[in-house]
Amino acid sequence: MNLFFITFLALVLDRIIGDPHWIPHPVIILGKYIAWFEKRWNTPGHSRQMQRIKGILLTLSTLLIASVPFACLLFLLYHYIFWLAVAINVFVIATTIAWKGLEDAGWGVLHRLQKEGLDSARNEVAKIVGRDTENLSEVEVLRATVETLAENIVDAIVSPVFYACIGGAPLAMLYRATNTLDSMVGYKNERYQEFGWASARFDDFLNFIPARFTAVLLWIAIGLTGNNARQAWKIMFRDARKHPSPNSGIAESMVAGGLDVQLGGVNYYGGVPSHRALLGNPTRSLESKDIVRVIRIIQVTCLILLMLTALGGVLIWRL
């Protein structure tokens, strides 16, 4: 089956329904397994090497759980019930993409900020970021939202689409499992430094190509939405390497340059300050309209992906 067409349909499905709460999400199951494994096996007192070995076992087992069942199921269904195989492929890929979810998250923070006040906006942004939000100023709420939306253009949209086009639902789920691992155990602190090493490194590896493809998509989208595409490219080359992630810094720095704002600064995690490199120039202060601008950039980026998957599907079909 043409995986480009299937990915096109998955993008459309995600944009229409997102992630309804009444449908069990595969990532929830993966998250419960990761939490169980981590609680049972991430025990203090073991050597650095042993911690890494246990982390590697967690990574491998999670990836197998995420991809092999779907691969076997689809292999059988394609031989016996073709239309059901296509439907499952589309649905599973759609669960790995968060186009609608990312937009809704941005609109949610903006609505709370404008309609219900700063305290409500802090509570809403706490749903999408890991940093402490209780004492954030309005500008810091805006910064947290813009940074998260920008970073997740890679993690929640481009990367799963990229891997779905290559390997369908099994490979898209393998990517989503990797990203979930990184978000749960990929921290550089005492508890996860060694145990989460394999998860973090594999996430960096899988995102390497999609993140750089995202730079091209964002450059086009930033220009088409009337933002500063030239500055986005300039800031990306200047500042992306400052980010602790070799991939997230690309999207965040491009958005910072495209909006002519500065991202990064001091975040607090459990009351402990964490200094993030400054990305972009402080040409102006962040404002609520910047959330709208980033959402528009996301929308155009996804429309480009829709056109590319449709075009890829036609070219493969013609061949």
Tens digit of each residue's pLDDT, the chain (319 residues): 799 999 999 999 999 998 877 777 788 889 999 999 999 888 877 788 899 999 999 999 999 999 999 999 999 998 889 999 999 999 999 999 999 999 999 999 999 999 999 999 999 999 999 888 998 999 999 999 999 999 999 999 999 999 999 999 999 999 999 999 999 998 877 788 899 999 999 999 999 999 999 999 999 999 999 999 999 999 999 999 998 888 999 999 999 999 999 999 998 888 888 888 899 999 999 999 999 999 999 999 999 999 999 999 999 888 7
pLDDT confidence of residue 131: 87
Q: What is the per-residue pLDDT for 130?
A: 84
Q: In sequence order, which ranges of the chain are alpha helices (DSSP H)?
A: 3-17, 26-41, 48-80, 82-96, 99-111, 118-125, 138-153, 159-185, 197-224, 229-239, 248-259, 289-318
pLDDT averaged over every residue in the chain: 93
pLDDT in the model for residue 187: 82
Which residues are paired to 266 by β-bridges? Answer: 275
d(CA 23, CA 34): 21
Q: What are phi and psi of 261, to 5 degrees?
A: -130, 175
| pLDDT for residue 231 | 96
154-174: per-residue pLDDT in tens?
999 999 999 999 999 999 999
Give the model's pLDDT for residue 147. Answer: 96
The distance from CA 237 to its chain's CA centroid, rounded to whole angstroms, is: 21
pLDDT at 258 (0 to 100): 97
CA dist 180 and 159 (Å) reads: 13
Q: Angle CA(125)–CA(306)–CA(318) in degrees, nearest 5?
A: 160
The answer to whether the beta carbons of residues 160 and 49 sit under 8 Å apart is no
Q: How far apart are the C-alpha atoms of 197 and 237, rounded to whole Å?
A: 27
263, β-bridge pairs: 279
